[in-house]
């Protein structure tokens, strides 16, 4: 194609990173093409990640609560039955509604959407193998790599999504397993363990580290949520490494585990094993070799602070490059990268990206953990407030959890906020805003919070950080 036909921006990947960049660029008046091979937009997050997992978490929680947590509230229910097919259908309805919604938004913003697999032919041309057959190519003044990530496989255990599953199989099982082993006690492991344990499976989570929750979770919080999840019936083997595994039949898998510190090996068996040991950047078939782009030792596309690869008009954002693999991080980067292209400046504060684990109660945090601060030799002050002392949590009969704040002892500036609580994922937005604005714990403590709300625990933790809480 000639230069005059070149698009302002060609995006490879229609996940959160790709579709958000497409919408933003469309809004900026750019001529944009977005190439996605999946057949639907929204990537991992909308199709097989954030959205379907939250549907299952929400409805399995409701089911579990109706079964086990109504009588003492004065609600007597009759025969409660699980209709797994309908549970999955409700999930699919949410997914389809949202992915179609994204397609509508691309159209509304004048984005050309091509269903196919993109690969670099040269520095300005992307060849597309169309899903419907045939081939085309698109020329771009700027090209954005937004190809996301894929499941990290476990050597020796081939994922068939029935017996040996990844998160994609875990959101689509057709029957509740009797016994399930989860390899990896990170966020995927714990969210999926929660879903299937609530629906009736006996779930064992094997985690290599001494603490669950994956990277970034505060150790005190991780210990506390582990106790809560254990009470809910999940079995934990921490400090334990899965060394090998074998599928025996379509409903039997064995895994060998070893104490991380040395000790007795053990064999565990289950009818389903979930591999949740992390995700890795996805660049398969992208033809990076055709343009001489190299990856780092973890397979990530190397970029500078303005998301440029070493070929300046080719940029990259989302899971396929550096930083936490989170949808909202991808979204922030997608907006920023378009701003860099269009205006020459953009902004993402990497010190201020919240993380949420959607178990019950939820766990959420932003900023640094206590162990991060200790390791970096940064002095800090801690303030905590338990939900057991919060009036709303007490009336709701949901008192597990707490708010923990870390602040600079000299300036009182907030350094990190960590929450376990029924509404932690929503509450962390307040903490993120505080951190982004450089607030002190006193700023939060002097902000009026409505009564009776769970958010008062947030305010009281701030009071406890530089002085004393009222109700504890």
Residue 99 near ligand FAD by CB under 6 A: no
Residue (25 or 257) nearer to ligand NAD, CB: 257
Residue 241 near ligand NAD by CB under 6 A: yes
Cα distance between residue 429 and residue 424, in whole Å = 9
Q: For residue 467, report the phi and psi dihedrals to the nearest 5 degrees.
A: -155, -120
Q: Which helix (H) or strand (E) holds 353?
A: none
Per the listing, tokens 């007490």 go with 394
Q: Which stretch binds ligand NAD (CB under 6 A): 77-85, 113-121, 182-190, 440-448?
A: 182-190
Cα distance between residue 355 and residue 95, in whole Å = 22
Q: Which stretch binds ligand FAD (CB under 6 A): 33-41, 208-216, 299-307, 364-372?
A: 33-41
Closest C-alpha to 198, from 66, 77, 71, 363: 66
Residue 173 near ligand NAD by CB under 6 A: no
Q: Which helix (H) or strand (E) holds 327?
A: helix 327-343
Q: Which stretch binds ligand FAD (CB under 6 A): 42-50, 87-95, 251-259, 384-392?
A: 42-50
Check whether 367 is labelled as a binding-site residue: no
Residue 345: which region, alpha, beta or left (left: phi > 0; alpha: psi -120 to 50)? beta
Check whether 266 is labelled as a binding-site residue: no
Residue 325 near ligand FAD by CB under 6 A: yes
Cα angle: 50, vertex 52, 54; to 5 degrees? 65
- Residue 72 is among the residues annotated as catalytic for this protein: no
Check whether 326 is labelled as a binding-site residue: yes
Cα distance between residue 3 and residue 436, in whole Å = 42
Q: Which one of 30, 138, 206, 268 is in contact with ligand NAD (CB under 6 A)?
A: 206
Cα angle: 56, vertex 62, 65; to 5 degrees? 135
Residue 164 near ligand NAD by CB under 6 A: no
Cα distance between residue 50 and residue 188, in whole Å = 10
Q: Which one of 8, 26, 34, 53 is in contact with ligand FAD (CB under 6 A)?
A: 53
Q: Which stretch binds ligand FAD (CB under 6 A): 15-23, 82-90, 226-234, 381-389?
A: 15-23
Q: Which one of 357, 364, 407, 445 is in contact with ligand NAD (CB under 6 A)?
A: 357
Cα distance between residue 399 and residue 397, in whole Å = 6
Provide the CB-side half-sphere exposure for 86 (13 A, CA): 5
Residue (311 or 389) nearer to ligand FAD, CB: 311
Binding to ligand FAD, residues 168-227 (CB under 6 A): 188
- Cβ 185 vs Cβ 212: under 8 Å: yes
Residue 43 near ligand NAD by CB under 6 A: no
Residue 327 near ligand FAD by CB under 6 A: yes
Which tokens sit at 122? Answer: 């040269």
| Shortest Å, Cβ 50 to ligand FAD | 4
Residue 185 near ligand NAD by CB under 6 A: yes
DSSP secondary structure of 65-111: HHHHSSGGGT---------HHHHHHHHHHHHHHHHHHHHHHHHHTT-
| Shortest Å, Cβ 358 to ligand FAD | 6
Residue (247 or 413) nearer to ligand NAD, CB: 247
Instruction: State the binding string over 105-134 for ligand FAD (x if CB under 6 A, else -).
Output: ------------xxx---------------
DSSP secondary structure of 397-446: T----EEEEEE-TTT-BEEEEEEEETTHHHHHHHHHHHHHTT-BHHHHHT
Cα distance between residue 383 and residue 257, in whole Å = 38
Partner from ligand FAD, ligand NAD, none binding residue 26, C-beta < 5-8 Å depending on class:
none
Residue 11 near ligand FAD by CB under 6 A: no
Residue 308 near ligand FAD by CB under 6 A: no
Which tokens sit at 175? Answer: 């029957």
Cite the active site residues: 451
Query: Which residues would be at the binding site for ligand FAD (CB under 6 A)?
Result: 12-18, 35-38, 43-45, 49-50, 53, 117-119, 146-149, 167, 188, 282, 285-286, 318-319, 325-328, 330
Query: Which residues would be at the binding site for ligand NAD (CB under 6 A)?
Result: 183-189, 191, 206-209, 214, 241-242, 276-279, 324-326, 356-358
């Amino acid at each position: 194609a000639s230069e005059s036909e070149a698009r302002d921006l060609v995006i490879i990947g229609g996940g959160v990173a790709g579709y958000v960049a497409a919408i933003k660029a469309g809004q900026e008046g750019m001529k944009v093409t977005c190439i996605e091979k999946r057949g639907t937009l929204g990537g991992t997050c909308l199709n097989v990640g954030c959205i379907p997992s939250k549907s299952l978490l929400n409805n399995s929680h409701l089911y579990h609560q109706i079964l086990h947590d109504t009588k003492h509230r004065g609600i007597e229910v009759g025969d409660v039955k699980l209709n797994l097919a309908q549970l999955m259908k409700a999930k699919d309805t949410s997914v389809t509604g949202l992915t179609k919604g994204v397609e509508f938004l691309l159209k509304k913003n004048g984005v050309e959407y091509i269903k196919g697999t993109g690969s670099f032919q040269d520095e300005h041309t992307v060849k597309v193998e169309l899903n419907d057959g045939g081939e085309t190519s698109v020329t771009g003044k700027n090209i954005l790599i937004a190809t996301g990530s894929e499941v990290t496989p476990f050597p020796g255990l081939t994922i068939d999504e029935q017996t040996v599953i990844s998160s994609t199989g875990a959101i689509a099982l057709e029957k509740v397993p009797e016994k399930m082993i989860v390899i990896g006690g990170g966020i995927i492991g714990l969210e999926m363990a929660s879903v299937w344990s609530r629906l009736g499976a006996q779930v064992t989570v094997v985690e290599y580290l001494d603490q669950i929750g994956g990277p970034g979770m505060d150790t005190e919080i991780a210990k506390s949520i582990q106790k809560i999840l254990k009470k809910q019936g999940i079995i934990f083997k921490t400090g334990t490494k899965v060394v090998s595994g074998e599928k025996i039949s379509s409903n039997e898998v064995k895994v060998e585990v070893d104490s991380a510190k040395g000790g007795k090996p053990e064999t565990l068996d289950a009818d389903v094993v979930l591999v949740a040991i992390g995700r890795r950047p996805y660049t398969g078939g992208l033809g990076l070799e055709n343009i001489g782009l190299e990856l780092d030792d973890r397979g990530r596309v190397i970029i500078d602070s303005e998301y440029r690869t070493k070929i300046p008009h080719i940029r990259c954002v989302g899971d396929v490059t550096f930083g936490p693999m989170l949808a909202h991080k991808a979204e922030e980067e997608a907006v920023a990268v378009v701003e860099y292209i269009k205006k020459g400046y953009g902004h993402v504060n990497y010190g201020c990206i919240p993380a949420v684990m959607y178990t019950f109660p939820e766990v959420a945090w932003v900023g640094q953990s206590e162990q991060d601060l200790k390791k970096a030799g940064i002095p800090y002050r801690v303030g905590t407030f338990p939900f057991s002392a919060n009036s709303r949590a007490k009336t709701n009969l949901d008192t597990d959890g707490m708010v923990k704040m870390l602040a600079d002892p000299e300036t009182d500036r907030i350094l990190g906020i960590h929450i376990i609580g029924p509404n932690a994922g929503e509450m962390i937005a307040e903490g993120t805003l505080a951190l982004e604005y450089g607030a002190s714990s006193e700023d939060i403590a002097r902000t009026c919070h409505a009564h009776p709300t769970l958010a008062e625990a947030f305010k009281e933790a701030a009071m406890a950080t530089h002085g004393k809480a009222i109700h504890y």
